[in-house]
């Protein structure tokens, strides 16, 4: 219980610059003193039990807290056009809040996922009274999380959920069947309503000016704010948080801002800090923390001027999985990282976990001439283990059954004689050919337990036509060797003694990513599917390898 009683005023109409009225609930501490303000703008409706709990917590501790339905959602006027009105609306809302008689003029923002990205878009507008942010499970710029040129199938689930003034019940639909529909741009017919935004996104199958309105990660030098970045290793939008922390610590508008960044990474999914368990794993009682108190301390420092030595502490609190312990670090990636290539090897039959693929730090020698091949058939894609809705895409799932497939190449180290810590960004350097003019290659990093449990840690994909970037699609020449660099996001995992490090290579991860039809036709518009013959190279000339950030034992 905090210091103050709380009074609540509901459905306040805040007028935007174009006259549209947005609805907000205001939680205020019962005091005559001027207090700082916190604003949270949400498309997920402001009147939930969780919001009541969170808002009361900060109001009891001396903040005016405003939760607002974004334009077109809940009790707010206007049309909901995801992201495109949020920067100006955020600016206007912050400045309205700062002008209230009870407010000290210092305003902070917080929120997760959609609520986090719109904080960044608002920050680029430089509202004068915005003094600090807490950005949780933040989405990246377009095509960073799904570098396929078009929306992922499960994005339709999110668009449907937010397609009216109130939340739509996604559990009423058979999403597994819907995701298989072709052409992709018309997949919305199977949800029973035409989704204009879904179809509009398919008119922009690469990073053009339409998408760039949502970009912020190329503009950190314009932002002069302290930010607390929070995510989990199994957040399905995890990549954004380390990128943003690194971007702000290296490129923010001032030295003060660059030194005023903090990051918390837990063993959590998109719904952070809710349970010690995820899938079949239990990360232990220490995996949950008092996150509210950390956020309160952040705002107390920046909005109330409490100098408690917070900035003298290491910038990162991170949970190291495997060891299942929290650790503090100073920078990202860690300065002591030993970037280590683990090369693919085989005698030509790395297909499935029963094949002859192996992984080692030894570079292929001149005598190694074998390649590995498989058929990628989009009619029978490799499954990505996940629940069908967009609430959480994947976790520390067991891929041992999937690894029985011949269209999954498997490369494993010998059984580890000692613990090996991998903490940081993961990248795959893959040399491959295909007989198609466009195709995909996928990578997974796996921790293989002594009992055979194949724990997915992280993964990535490249679409061949985007091998040179999302702004410059270009089909490939069949049967020509190309080098593909595949971003596999980040992790912090101690591979324990007795375990193995494993890499899976394939060409699909459905429904996390759409199936590449291999035809080279315009993305999302075709019903044609064609099998492709894929060849992976791992010889002295073309040494395919995964680059792991190894942290030496202290």
Q: What does each C-alpha distance from 34 to 30, 57, 399, 400, 501 come to in angstroms?
A: 11, 18, 55, 59, 56
Q: Do 1-132 and 338-551 share a fold?
A: no
Note the pTM of the prediction, 2 decimals.
Answer: 0.97
Tens digit of each residue's pLDDT (9 = 90 or more) over 154-171: 999 999 999 999 999 999
Q: CA-to-CA distance for 473 and 479, rounded, in angstroms?
A: 18
pLDDT at 1: 67
The DSSP symbol for 538 reads B
Name the active-site residue from 270, 301, 345, 499.
270
- Please report the DSSP string for 290-350 in residue order: -HHHHHHHHHHHHHH---SSGGGS-SEEEEEBTTTEEEEESSSS-TT-EEEEEEEE-SS--
pLDDT digits (tens, 9 = 90+) for 237-267: 999 999 999 999 999 999 999 999 999 999 9
Task: Indicate the fold that domain 338-551 takes in CATH.
Answer: Jelly Rolls (2.60.120)
Reported confidence tier of residue 2, pLDDT bands at 50, 70, 90: confident
Burial tier of 452 (Cβ tally within 10 Å: 0-12, 13-18, 19+) = exposed
Please provide the CATH number assigned to the domain covering 1-132. 3.40.50.1820
Summarised one tens digit per residue, pLDDT across range 375-425 is 999 999 999 999 999 999 999 999 999 999 999 999 999 999 999 999 999
Q: Which of 235, 236, 300, 459 is catalytic?
A: 235
Domain extent listing, the chain: 1-132, 338-551
The pair of structure tokens assigned to 425 is: 């960004």
The sign of the CA dihedral 182, 184, 187, 193 is: negative
Verify whether residue 235 is a known catalytic residue.
yes
- Contact (Cβ atoms closer than 8 angstroms) between residue 31 and residue 19: no
Catalytic annotation on 113? yes
Residues paired with residue 461 on neighbouring β-strands, in sequence order? 442
Rounded CA-CA distance 358/340 in Å is 16
The 10s digit of each residue's pLDDT in 353-366 is 999 999 999 999 99
The active-site residue out of 23, 93, 113, 506 is 113
Sign of the torsion angle spanned by Cα atoms 210, 212, 215, 221: negative
Instruction: Determine the average pLDDT of the residues in 95-99.
Output: 98
Residue 468 has which token pair?
């040179």
- Mean of pLDDT values over 144-153: 96
| Spatial distance between the Cα atoms of 143 and 161, rounded to a whole number of angstroms | 21
Give the strand pairing for 532-537 and 420-434. antiparallel
Q: Is the pLDDT of residue 8 over 80?
A: yes
> Is 229 considered catalytic here?
no
CA dihedral 38, 44, 48, 54 (to 10 degrees): -30
Query: For 108, what's the count of Cα atoms within 13 Å in the CB-facing half-sphere?
Result: 27
Q: Provide the 3-class DSSP secondary structure of residue 357.
A: coil
């Amino acid at each position: 219980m905090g210091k103050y009683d709380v009074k609540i005023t509901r459905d306040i109409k805040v007028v935007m610059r174009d006259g549209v009225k947005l609805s907000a609930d205001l939680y205020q501490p019962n005091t005559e003193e001027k207090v700082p303000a916190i604003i949270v703008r949400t498309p997920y409706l402001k009147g939930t039990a969780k919001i009541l709990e969170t808002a009361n917590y900060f109001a009891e501790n001396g903040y005016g807290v405003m939760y607002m339905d974004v334009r077109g959602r809940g009790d707010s006027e206007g049309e909901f056009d995801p992201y495109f009105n949020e920067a100006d609306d955020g600016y206007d809302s912050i400045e309205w809040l700062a002008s209230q008689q009870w407010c000290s003029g210092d305003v902070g923002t917080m929120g997760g996922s959609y609520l986090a990205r719109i904080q960044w878009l608002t920050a680029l507008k430089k509202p004068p009274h915005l003094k600090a942010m807490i950005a949780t499970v933040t989405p990246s710029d377009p095509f960073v999380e799904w570098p396929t040129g078009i929306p992922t199938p499960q994005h339709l689930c999110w668009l449907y959920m937010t397609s009216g003034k109130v939340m739509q019940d996604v559990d009423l639909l058979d999403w597994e069947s819907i995701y298989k529909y072709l052409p992709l741009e018309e997949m919305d017919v199977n949800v029973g309503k035409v989704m204009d935004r879904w179809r509009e996104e398919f008119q922009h199958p690469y990073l053009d000016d339409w998408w760039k309105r949502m970009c912020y990660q190329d503009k950190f030098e314009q932002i002069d704010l302290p930010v607390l970045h929070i995510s989990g290793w199994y957040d399905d939008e995890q990549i954004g948080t380390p990128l943003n922390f690194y971007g702000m610590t290296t490129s923010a508008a001032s030295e003060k801002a660059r030194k005023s960044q903090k990051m918390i990474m837990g063993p959590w999914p998109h719904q952070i800090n809710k349970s010690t368990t995820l899938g079949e794993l239990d990360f232990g009682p220490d995996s949950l923390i008092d996150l509210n108190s950390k956020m309160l301390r952040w705002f107390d420092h920046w909005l109330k001027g409490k100098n408690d030595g917070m900035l003298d502490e290491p910038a990162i609190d991170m949970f190291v999985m495997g060891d299942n312990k929290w650790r503090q670090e100073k920078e990202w990636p860690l300065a002591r990282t030993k970037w280590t290539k683990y090369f693919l090897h085989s005698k030509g039959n790395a297909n499935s976990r029963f094949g002859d693929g192996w992984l080692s730090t030894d570079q292929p020698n001149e005598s190694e001439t074998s390649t590995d091949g498989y058929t990628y058939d989009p009619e029978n894609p490799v499954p990505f283990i996940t629940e069908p809705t967009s609430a959480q895409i994947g976790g520390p799932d067991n891929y041992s059954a999937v690894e029985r497939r011949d269209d999954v190449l498997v490369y494993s180290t010998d059984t580890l004689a000692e613990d090996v810590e991998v903490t940081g960004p993961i990248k795959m350097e893959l040399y491959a050919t295909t007989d198609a003019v466009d195709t995909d290659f996928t990578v997974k990093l796996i921790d293989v337990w002594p009992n055979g449990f194949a724990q997915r840690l992280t993964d990535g994909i490249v679409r061949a036509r985007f091998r040179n970037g999302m702004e410059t699609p270009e089909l490939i020449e069949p049967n020509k060797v190309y080098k593909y660099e595949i971003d596999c996001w980040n992790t912090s995992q101690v591979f324990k003694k007795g375990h193995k490090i494993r890499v899976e290579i394939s060409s699909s991860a459905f429904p996390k990513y759409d199936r590449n039809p291999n035809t080279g036709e315009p993305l999302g518009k075709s019903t044609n599917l064609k099998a492709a013959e894929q060849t992976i190279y791992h010889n002295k000339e073309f040494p395919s390898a995964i680059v792991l950030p190894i942290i030496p034992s202290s």
